[in-house]
Chain A
């Protein structure tokens, strides 16, 4: 530190009063978010993953010519014919119970549709955007939500592990303002991440459709359904990030928070599904599915409750609105608990 001695006058500035505004705090937090190596690594991996999955899709889908279609049709016909033989044997079977007819006992006659049509027998089927569009958006939303959990947990967890959040209070002593700035940046970043991942899915699907797509036209209301699914997928990504942020802020440790999240989704939810099926509408992953999946999620209680008058097991419909409100409430409550604890606790 000889500079202190060698340059005695210059750096000791006249005292000035610096006031931290919420805007400057937001800019600083956004800068830090962009600078995080985890985020930079995640983006690089996401781009690599997108390229790899797009290439894999291109290699696995194909545009069949007439010969391929004829081969597939022949194989389908062969299978249907084999099954028709079994079906007829079943109809003639002497062991059919007396209280039922052979048609009821053996079910409907096999058709080509039972085996997915000739497309199912193509070595490389064409990509069907009309069929895969919304389910792909759902899958991408699930993957992005899992990554958003890691983003949300590490965003605040890194602060607690390095205790830099305490140092920041030397600059901005309003603790709730500090927490609000961090949460705002996270929500904005998670929303952007969700939008980018859904845009990446559209790009992938567009490339596949253009290069290895099938001849079928898109169904009616396709774009409306797809964009709604994608919008709800972005909402799920934001909620996942806020949930992880809130949980990590409560336990003040990234590893502990991610461990709790893993145990909950991998163990607790499955135990509850098995032992308490009627609790499923309150499980987070069921609500995540109900939120994003087109048409919501219908829970069927196969092993629990009386069979209804129509002969079907009881069902529970978990619609996107209900699921979204529920997940939103859980996220807000967790984030609020973490923020209040942060505001009240002694910090060392």
Chain B
């Protein structure tokens, strides 16, 4: 059962005196249950709008699209599954004059969650010592941690985190990463992680979807997405790079030097390199396909073209 499924979902924001801004454009998105799914996209690509649509905060354009959350249609079936969904969307929203603990207790009371769970979650995000301080006195990182604690209160089957590392110090980022990884591996929880920290996504996520201009332009296991954007370059380590380069160029390969080694471009089958060099009496020390990191893949997929600003004035992407 997919945890999240969007089929042909569109969303346009009306703008006074200007044509509507399309935030989602026939978006198809599938997040299977279990593991950590990364949600990437440039500013204005529609990530936060997608999350808001999933949570029923924003209504999709009428006509055709289908949204399912934990196999229930959204928004009609949302009340049946919201008890299994934890979410942190952009900025944590709490009463500034109330303490962190009381803010969580109020949410817990509304959903019938025990007070003990509140304490567990405060402990989990290392806020127990400051839980009685007023929320408005918290640092940005503490506010973010309280937001994560609120998202975890329900011990959710689906945890939606929108930029959870915002405002956290390096240790905090590491701890959140560990937490997400652990949740994703517990076999019960699906984590949908929206982040602009590509390295974080690559380290933590099992699968990834990349949005651009309101559409999903790439999706699948992280390895597959990276491989699909591979350039076909192969790195060759050999004792005599100059001789090897001459042989390979003679065999029709495109070759360039690469820091004491050779980079052979657009290689369909790396075994061809082995065969050609061996035929000339040259033997490899190392032969390795060069796979792009997520940042390279992301830039290649999205064309490094940020959508033209926020989806609409005051409306997050």
* Contact B112–A24 (Cβ < 8 Å): yes
B225 contacts the other chain (CB 8 A): no
Distance in angstroms from B120 CB to nearest chain A CB is 5
* Contact B124–A24 (Cβ < 8 Å): no
* Contact A1–B145 (Cβ < 8 Å): yes
Chain A, range 162-217, C-beta contacts under 8 Å to B: 162-164, 166-174
Complex-state Cα separation, A3 to B179, whole angstroms = 10
A221 contacts the other chain (CB 8 A): no
Q: A35-B102, A168-B107, A169-B57 are in contact. Are A20 and B125 (CB under 8 A)?
A: no
Q: A15-B189, A164-B95, A173-B79 are in contact. Are A7 and B109 (CB under 8 A)?
A: no
* Contact B155–A37 (Cβ < 8 Å): no
* Contact B57–A4 (Cβ < 8 Å): no
Q: Which residues of B sit under 8 angstroms from A174, Cβ to Cβ?
A: 79
Q: Which residues of B sit under 8 angstroms from A169, Cβ to Cβ?
A: 55-57
* Contact B58–A24 (Cβ < 8 Å): no
Which of B170-178, B250-258, B293-301 lies on the face that meets chain A?
Answer: B170-178
* Contact A15–B188 (Cβ < 8 Å): yes
* Contact A16–B126 (Cβ < 8 Å): no
B106 contacts the other chain (CB 8 A): yes
Which of B82-90, B198-206, B226-234, B240-248 lies on the face that meets chain A?
Answer: B82-90
B154 contacts the other chain (CB 8 A): yes
Chain A, range 1-52, C-beta contacts under 8 Å to B: 1-5, 7-8, 10-21, 24-25, 27-29, 31-32, 35-37
Q: A3-B123, A158-B95 are in contact. Are A15 and B111 (CB under 8 A)?
A: no
Q: A17-B84, A20-B111, A164-B95 are in contact. Are A348 and B314 (CB under 8 A)?
A: yes
Q: A8-B182, A169-B55 are in contact. Are A17 and B175 (CB under 8 A)?
A: no
Number of residues of chain A lying within 8 A (CB) of chain B: 45
* Contact A4–B112 (Cβ < 8 Å): no
* Contact B172–A17 (Cβ < 8 Å): no
B113 contacts the other chain (CB 8 A): yes
Distance in angstroms from B188 CB to nearest chain A CB is 5
Q: Which residues of A sit under 8 angstroms from B285, Cβ to Cβ?
A: none
Q: Which residues of B sit under 8 angstroms from A14, Cβ to Cβ?
A: 155, 188
B193 contacts the other chain (CB 8 A): no
Choose among A20, A21, A173, A348 the residue that contacts B56 (Cβ–Cβ < 8 A).
A173
With most chain B CB atoms within 10 A of its CB, the pick from A13, A25, A29, A32 is A13
List 13 contacting pairs A-B, 8 Å CB cutoff, sorted by A: A1-B168, A1-B171, A2-B171, A13-B155, A15-B157, A17-B83, A28-B106, A28-B109, A167-B94, A169-B55, A346-B13, A347-B58, A348-B58
| A binding-site residues for B, Cβ under 8 Å | 1-5, 7-8, 10-21, 24-25, 27-29, 31-32, 35-37, 158, 162-164, 166-174, 346-348
